[in-house]
A and B are shown apart, each in its own frame.
Chain A
Amino acid sequence: QKEVEQNSGPLSVPEGAIASLNCTYSDRGSQSFFWYRQYSGKSPELIMSIYSNGDKEDGRFTAQLNKASQYVSLLIRDSQPSDSATYLCAGATGRRALTFGSGTRLQVQP
């Protein structure tokens, strides 16, 4: 079992819709989680971090963490074509380096 798992997608949503990206993790000791966006051929860029159970909002982005269910999600409201990218979920899983999921490819259709 991978430590951090994501559905590879692609997830296709129409412009203006809400995109929902999900991630599960296996290490109950994980404390912090991060969402990175990666455009094709580029390096990942941090878009959200979350440390506590509940929701955290930043502009059009909302991260959700449920430690009991070992589940992390990212909601993107009012999706734009420029949001089309691969979204990587990462967790601090006890070892002192982040563990990444394989990423979910998001396609926003104009």
Chain B
Amino acid sequence: DGGITQSPKYLFRKEGQNVTLSCEQNLNHDAMYWYRQDPGQGLRLIYYSQIVNDFQKGDIAEGYSVSREKKESFPLTVTSAQKNPTAFYLCASSPPPGTRSPLHFGNGTRLTVT
């Protein structure tokens, strides 16, 4: 079955450590996205990529980095520069971006940094 796989589901890290969240899709979608969700909040865009080897910053990119070396993969690194990294992270993909492209979401990674 086609879908988006995020791993791990839960991740615990100590403050000051970098951590990488995995996102893989087999939907053959060109575009991929990372959103962050805090309790009781909507989704905020961190980074997105419309094509391999290219990506753009979203609204809250500071303290995060991404790569897009393969169409299927869009890993997110949460660096020690991110002041409040504890959150629910959602990866999504869509066909070539256009005004009629809904997002398909993975199951999310819940990151806790202490």
Residues in A lying within 8 Å of B, measured CB to CB: 4, 6, 8, 31-32, 34, 42-46, 49, 51, 88, 90, 92, 96-103
Contact = CB atoms under 8 A, between A and B. Distances in A.
A79 B48 CA distance: 35
Given A99-B45, A101-B42, A45 B99 contact: no
B63 interface: no
Contacts, number: 58
Contacts of A97: 33, 45, 48, 58, 97
Most buried by B among A8, A43, A44: A43
Interface string B64-104: 00000000000000000000000000100000010111111
Contact of B105 (A8, A44, A102, A103): A44
Contacts of A99: 45
Contact of A96 (B40, B50, B100): B50
Contacts of B107: 42-43
Main secondary structure of the interface of A (DSSP, over half): loop
Nearest to B59: A99
A101 B43 CA distance: 7
B22 to A, nearest CB: 15
Given A32-B101, A45-B105, 12 more contacts: A31-B99, A43-B106, A44-B90, A46-B103, A46-B104, A92-B99, A96-B48, A97-B45, A98-B102, A100-B42, A102-B40, A103-B41
B42 A103 contact: yes
Contact of B103 (A31, A98, A101): A98
A25 to B, nearest CB: 13
B50 A88 contact: no
5 contacts: A32-B100, A51-B100, A92-B100, A100-B42, A100-B43
B6 to A, nearest CB: 9
Contacts of A43: 90, 105-108
